[in-house]
Amino acid sequence: MNLVSRVVVASLPLVPRAAVRRIASRYVAGETLDQALETVRLLNAQGCMATLDVLGEDVARKEDSERTVSEYLRAFDGIAMHRLDSNVSVKLTALGLKLDPHHCRRELARIVEAARRHGNFVRIDMEDSSVTDETIRICLEARETYQRVGLVLQAYLKRSLEDARRAAAVGANVRVCKGIYQEPPEIAFQRRDPIRDSFAGLVDFLLESGSYVGVATHDPILLRRALATVERLRLRRDAYEFQMLLGVAGDLRRRLVAGGHRLRVYVPYGEAWEAYSMRRLKENPAIAGNVIRGLFSAG
């Protein structure tokens, strides 16, 4: 982290809560399911699909994971009732992965069962490297009961190509992203170019293997590289999708949609918006810079 980034991160606690809320409102759909569904409706009207994320991770008590699961069940009902084009993204630590993996599996099974009832899809987000093995294991296990469960691989992790081979072997649906947590150099690429090469390599490998890939990035260079692969392999539009975060890179998003590509927007919502925003901001000084810039442009 360079000096400017360190100063930006150190300044975050000084930013007034109201200002954080105002800036976070660009990245978070709101506190309630109704607000999130309205955001999805607007995105669908713009030709984008969505994935709903109930905010909250790393629960301290099992009861908290039960609340999260109930919210996901309501989300599936709301998506179906309003005929929206959205699936869900779930963090296993929000289902108690670190407290008790068996509890987490049972909680995930309830979400997967709801997805099956609605003919919908569940994406398991990838968190920090302390839970990579367990997350992949639980995700692949869940696929044995219902295939429409997908995993995420992070390009900064040196292990990811090996994980991609396992995923491709069972035809899993994979989101590829750079990775947002701070990881040590022994296990993770630290510099921009090796991360980009790893990202492009994962996307190429998975698409060549016939896996459905969610290309999750706003990086124009990586988007160009993915588009070149799609062209080279003459892929149908339903063999892959692009994915972006709510509130980020609207222009790129619109261009991809206009080009006829499938594009899904990640829509986080829930009461834990503040903790989520602050954590994301601290983890990624580049994003923190956006907050400080936002403070000056938010008027």
- Residue numbers of the site for ligand FAD (CB under 6 A)? 125-126, 152, 154, 177-181, 216-219, 243-245, 248-249, 266, 286-287, 290
Residue 2 CB, nearest distance to ligand FAD (Å)? 15
Q: What one-letter code names the amino acid at 60?
A: A
As measured in angstroms, the least distance from the Cβ of 181 to ligand FAD is 6
Nearer to ligand FAD, 99 or 249 (CB): 249
Residue 31's SS3 state is coil
Closest CA to 68 of 231, 206, 270, 298: 270
Half-sphere exposure of 152 (CA within 13 A, CB side): 24
What is residue 236's DSSP assignment? Answer: -
Q: For residue 247, give the DSSP letter.
A: T
Residue among 293, 296, 299, 292 at smallest CA distance from 11 = 292
For residue 24, how far is the Cα from the chain centroid?
A: 16
Q: How far is the CB of 66 from ligand FAD (least distance, A)?
A: 23
Closest CB 110 distance from ligand FAD, rounded Å: 21
Nearer to ligand FAD by C-beta: 100 or 219?
219
112 vs 222, which CB is nearer to ligand FAD?
Answer: 222
Catalytic residue among 105, 123, 143, 175: 175
For residue 261, give the nearest of 230, 232, 217 by alpha carbon.
230
Nearer to ligand FAD, 59 or 244 (CB): 244
Helices 273-283 and 285-297: crossing angle, nearest 10°? Answer: 120
CB atoms under 10 Å from CB of 134, counted, come to 17
Catalytic annotation present for 234: no
Q: Give the CA-trace dihedral at 169, 175, 176, 181, to 10 degrees.
A: -120
Q: How far apart are CA 80 and CA 63, in angstroms?
A: 26
Shortest Å distance, C-beta 26 to ligand FAD: 8
Longest dimension (CA), the chain: 52
Question: Is residue 125 annotated as part of the catalytic site, yes or no?
Answer: yes
User: What is d(CA 11, CA 25) in angstroms, rounded to the nearest whole number?
Assistant: 20
* Shortest CB 207 distance to ligand FAD, Å: 17
Which of 125, 225, 253, 264 is catalytic? The answer is 125
Structure tokens at 211: 């896996």
Q: Cα-flanking dihedrals φ and ψ of residue 242, to 5°? A: -95, 155
254-261 long-range contacts, CB within 8 A, separation 24+: 254/46, 256/223, 257/46, 257/47, 257/48, 261/237
| Active site members | 125, 175
